[in-house]
Structure 1
Amino acid sequence: NGFSALGQIGGKERKDMAKILLGCLIGKLPRHAIITYQSLLDFIQIAQYPTRDDTTLGYLAQSLNIFHQHKDILIHLGVRDHFNIPKFHSLLHYQEFI
């Protein structure tokens, strides 16, 4: 799928890729896959806000909920075999530690 080979790139490169990723996927993946990636990118963006309030924390929780509602499409498409990934599990607790 091409994404697994990108494990060695740095933070700046990842941020640069995130800026264009969604636009590259539109029209190439089913709607639910786009929603999955969009919600994950939204979560990452909101988590990096310099300050947060109850409203932005609500947006953070909402984007994570949407991701979890739609992530199984990535298994169905063969992008992932599973989501038993410690970093994904830690996202569930992110909001409570802010």
Structure 2
Amino acid sequence: MTLISSTRDLRSSEKTCVLFDADGRIRHVHTVVTVGGAKPQTEAEIERKAQHHAGLFQVKAPLIALHVPQAELQLGGPVMVDPKTRRVVRVRG
């Protein structure tokens, strides 16, 4: 008999979209996990949902979307987006 120990075993994709302001501050992070057999969402669908959810949290500034691997947000400290290069970077402080 085979048992599945976690939902991680069922994942077929994981996509993350960050919304950041003109200064590079990440204002909202939206991650979508697709499990086996489900239709993956497009980047446009993920951005639309991210913007909608950010609005629910009263985030009003014009926000720019950036799709990144989840691992880029795990840099061992606070992160932001460099607005010029559109890359996630560690906050130096």
Q: The TM-score by the shorter chain falls in which range?
A: under 0.3
Q: TM-score, normalised by structure 2?
A: 0.26
Higher strand share: 2
**Relative CO higher for 1 or 2, CA cutoff 8 Å, sep ≥ 6?**
2
Q: TM-score, normalised by structure 1?
A: 0.25
Higher helix share: 1
